[in-house]
Structure 1
């Protein structure tokens, strides 16, 4: 690809690093993540297709369930 989206980076990161137990350093870096509109819509679509609740989706994508609720309010309303 000529241009990587945020979604591509997340996918590549999971391929490279796998699903290891998180260290304290990586937990503190969670607050510095940012998502573009395209990736937010992908995450919300993934949640709907797979019939997941906010907690399950948040664990899968390693984001806050409150963030998901905010996205749903802003993007699906």
Structure 2
């Protein structure tokens, strides 16, 4: 899978500078990374706009292989069930099971 050419760092920096300058300091650690992963984008989104339900929007998320591996490692590290992990990341249990079959 090919990495996206979208400059998320620029997009989120502009959003923070123009609409939410008070949240800029909270997000600097993530924005200073050399490469932003899908998980970083989701974390930024949550910090800027707050915790929102992604039920309608969850079908539109895409994850790269390294992000999937991080999610599965998070599950092992924290001894989570598939259901708990699905709730934490707003994913389908079937998606997580398929990822485990493919990448574990």
Do both proteins adopt the same fold according to a TM-score greater than 0.5, normalized to the shorter chain?
yes
Structure 2 length as normaliser, TM-score?
Answer: 0.63
Counterpart of 2:97 in structure 1 is: 69
Which residue of 45, 51, 74 corresponds with 1:13? 45
Q: Relative contact order (C-alpha < 8 Å, sep 6+): which is higher? A: 1
Which residue of 26, 29, 45 corresponds with 2:73? 45
Write out per-residue CA displacement over residues 35-63 of structure 1, whole angstroms, 9 at most, x where no aligned residue. 00010000000000000000000000011
Counterpart of 1:56 in structure 2 is: 84
RMSD: 1.3
Write out per-residue CA displacement over residues 2-56 of structure 1, whole angstroms, 9 at most, x where no aligned residue. 4211121111122123324x2xxx4222111110001000000000000000000
Counterpart of 2:62 in structure 1 is: 34
Residue correspondences, number: 72
Structure 1 length as normaliser, TM-score?
Answer: 0.83
Q: Partners of 2:66 and 2:48 in 1: how far apart?
A: 23
Give the gaps of 5 or more residues in structure 2. 1-32
- Decide which moves more: 8-17 or 31-40: 8-17
